[in-house]
Amino acid sequence: MPVLDLLLIVLAGVAAGAINAVVGSGTLVTFPTLVTLGFPPVTATMSNAIGLVAGGVSGTWGYRRELRGQGRRLAWQIPASLLGAGVGAWLLLHLPEKVFQEIVPVLLVLALVLVVVGPRVQAFAKRRAEAAGREAGHVSGPRLAAVVLATFVIGIYGGYFTAAQGILLIAAMGALLPEDVQRMNAAKNLLSLLVNIVAALAYTVVAFDRISWVAAGLIAVGSLIGGFLGAHYGRRLSPVALRAVIVVVGLIGLYRLLAL
């Protein structure tokens, strides 16, 4: 592999790790990068999911303070994410690759739309949290059930195609929970990490020879650094600029997919 390609993958990993820690959807940088460099879509998805585990660890660690007090709800959401991720990974490994190639452009467009509307979702979540006041953290039984169901469905999506699962989680929790945005972001980082771990383990066990371990390793190194930087400094960066980069790279990847 050319040195320039190696460097591009590492830089994409740094960007994805930082973006995942701050807003989610970092896969929309790494996945199109791998596809543009000539990796088959399924190989790109599996290698990407494995590589981004490292960034998920550093990003989640960076937001560990915001996780405090969410244990009761996460005790329900975590199993839902794990189960959903297992179903999604099974679908990726057992459905024909042609199905993936046909559905991924649709998922990629959906993910890009979610990136664009992400600020409105987060603003909505913030307004709900502010309106809730002291009720933050309290969740009724039916609302908790809805959150768990949404988490499970998003876990399936994440196990099959990881892009923008973080924004989907923020959207669901923002609509259903009276929580602060930063606390929801911390929960999103943890749940997305768990989905990636389950998917990565499934891919490694079942499809070891279909994974590009060079690409996965380079993304892991980059995303580990990016997750740390995103958790510590990402709040100072312009979300508009971040989303603009994601959309541009995502559109390039979409073009590359449609040209296959």
What is the Cα gyration radius of the chain? 17
CA angle 58, 12, 194 (to 5 degrees): 40
Total domains present in the chain: 1
Q: What is the pLDDT of residues 132-143, one digit of tens each?
A: 554 545 566 788
Q: What is the pLDDT of residues 51-103, one digit of tens each?
A: 999 999 998 998 888 888 888 889 999 999 999 999 998 988 888 877 877 78
CA 11 to chain centre: 17
End-to-end CA distance of the chain: 20
What does the alpha-carbon distance between residue 180 and residue 184 come to, in Å, rounded to a whole number?
6
pLDDT band at 152 (very low <50, low <70, confident <90, very high): very high
- How much is the average pLDDT of 164-168? 77
Residue of 73, 44, 29 lying closest to 191 (CA atoms)? 73
DSSP per-residue string spanning 38-53: T--HHHHHHHHHHHHH
With tokens 């990847």, the residue in question is 253
Q: What is the pLDDT of residues 204-222, one digit of tens each?
A: 998 899 899 999 999 999 9
- Helices 141-160 and 71-94 pack at an angle, to 10 degrees, of 30
What does the alpha-carbon distance between residue 86 and residue 138 come to, in Å, rounded to a whole number?
29
pTM here is 0.78
Residue of 130, 111, 155 lying closest to 19 (CA atoms)? 111
Backbone φ and ψ for 161, nearest 5 degrees, come out as: -150, 110
Range of the domain at 53: 3-259
What does the alpha-carbon distance between residue 6 and residue 3 come to, in Å, rounded to a whole number?
5
Backbone φ and ψ for 87, nearest 5 degrees, come out as: -65, -45
Name every residue whose Cβ is closer than 8 Å to that of residue 80 and which is 6 or more positions away in sequence.
Answer: 148, 149, 151, 152, 155
Q: What is the pLDDT of residues 106-126, one digit of tens each?
A: 877 876 777 677 667 667 766
